[in-house]
Amino acid sequence: MGASTTAKRATPRRAPARKNPSKTDAKDTGPAGRALAPITAEGGFEPIRIVTPETPPEVELVELFSIDGQAYFVPRDPSPAVALRFIRAAQVAGMELALAELLVEMLGEEAYEALASCDAMTAAQFGAIMQGLRQLSMGALEGPKGSSRSA
């Protein structure tokens, strides 16, 4: 059963960026990497600057399920990019295929294969796992009580 206790995550996909070469003095995001509000107190507009850190931040993992005592983990606070990829996949390929992609992205290949090989899993258990993944991934787009996470 040499399964790892940490989920291996897929390499994040990056969309092509449009850059304005005349804008080189970009402001950073707010404290602790939080984005600034796009509308200023004076009613002006300030673009949100996203800066990729040189060292990826440590990801807190939570146990989503276990099989025969082997725990499998997912990120507690996945990037909003995960939710955006899920939404796009649902638009393009349909909800069923989008959920399959979400399952692999959040669990990693090793945990996905363990789950797919588990004939003892019930439909209710699988439904609960999928619900947990949806809540975690879509929660990445919301803050407390449904407010925007960018604040």
The ranges assigned to domains in the chain are 58-142
On whether the CB atoms of residues 4 and 110 are closer than 8 A, the answer is yes
Average pLDDT of 91-98?
A: 94
**CA 142 to CA 43: how far, in whole Å?**
24
pLDDT tens digits for range 33-87: 554 667 877 888 888 889 999 999 999 999 999 999 999 999 999 999 999 999 9
CA distances from 67 to 10, 76, 108, 119 (A): 22, 20, 15, 10
Is 0.75 topped by the overall pTM?
no
What pLDDT score does 36 carry?
60
Six token digits for residue 117: 């090989």
On whether the CB atoms of residues 86 and 137 are closer than 8 A, the answer is yes
